[in-house]
Amino acid sequence: MEIILERLRKFANPSYIYGEVSVSKASFTELLIFSDASTMAIAAVAFLRLASDTGKEQLGFVMGKAKLAPKHGHTVPRLELCATVLATELYELISSEIDTNFDSIRFFTDSKVVLGYIRNETKRFFTYVANRVERIRKFSEPKDWNYIPTKINPADEGTRSVAVKEMQTSLWLNGPHELLDSSKHEQYDLDIDCDPEVSSCRTDVQSICQLGCHRFEKISDWQRLTRAICFIQKIMQKRKMVKSDDNKNQTPLTLQGAGLFIIHLMQEEAFVEEISSLKTGRTVNHRNPVFKLDPYMDEAGFLRVGGRLRHSNLMPQEKNPLIIPKKSHIANLLVDHFHREVKHQGRLFTEGAIRSAGYWIVGCRRRVNSHIQKCVTCRKLRGKQQQPKMADIFEAHLHPGPPFTHIGVVVFGPWSIVTRKT
Q: Could you tell me the pTM of the whole model?
A: 0.45
What DSSP state is assigned to residue 177? Answer: S
Residue ranges with strand state E in 126-195: 145-147
| Interval 108-135: pLDDT, tens | 998 888 888 888 877 777 888 888 888 9
What pLDDT is recorded for position 185? 46
Q: How far is CA 30 from CA 20, 58, 182, 287, in A?
A: 16, 11, 10, 63
Q: Measured over all CA atoms, what is the biggest interatomic distance in the chain, rounded to whole angstroms? A: 143
- 320 phi/psi in degrees, rounded to 5: -130, 80
Report the C-alpha gap between 378 and 389 in whole angstroms: 26
Angle of CA points 195, 196, 201, to nearest 5°: 110
Q: Which residue did the predictor score with more confidence, 335 or 71?
A: 335
Q: Is the dihedral of CA 94, 95, 99, 102 positive or negative?
A: positive
CB atoms within 10 A of CB 389: 5
Q: Do 173 and 61 meet the contact criterion of CB atoms below 8 Å apart?
A: yes
For residue 67, give the 3-state DSSP assignment.
strand
Give CA–CA dist 196/212, Å, rounded.
Answer: 25
Mean pLDDT of 307-329: 87
Q: HSE (CB half, 13 Å, CA atoms) of 178?
A: 7
Residue 252 pLDDT = 66
Q: Does the pLDDT of residue 93 top 80, yes or no?
A: yes
Residue 11 pLDDT > 60, yes or no?
Answer: no
Instruction: Count each helix (H run) and each strand (E run) in the chain, helices first.
Output: 14, 11
Instruction: Report how far residue 371's alpha carbon sits from residue 375's, in angstroms, rounded to the nearest whole number.
Output: 6
Tell me what percent of the chain is helix, strand and coil, each rounded to the nearest 5: 45, 15, 45
More confident residue, 65 or 383: 65
Q: How confident is the model at residue 244 (pLDDT cuts 50, 70, 90)?
A: low
Q: For position 338, what pLDDT does the model report?
A: 93
Instruction: Report in angstroms the alpha-carbon separations of 64 from 32, 43, 154, 350, 417.
Output: 12, 7, 10, 73, 108
| Residue pair 297/313 in contact by the 8 Å Cβ criterion | no
| Distance in angstroms (rounded) separating the CA atoms of residues 273 and 315 | 29
Dist CA 239 CA 243 (whole Å): 7
Report CA 421 to chain centroid distance, whole Å.
90
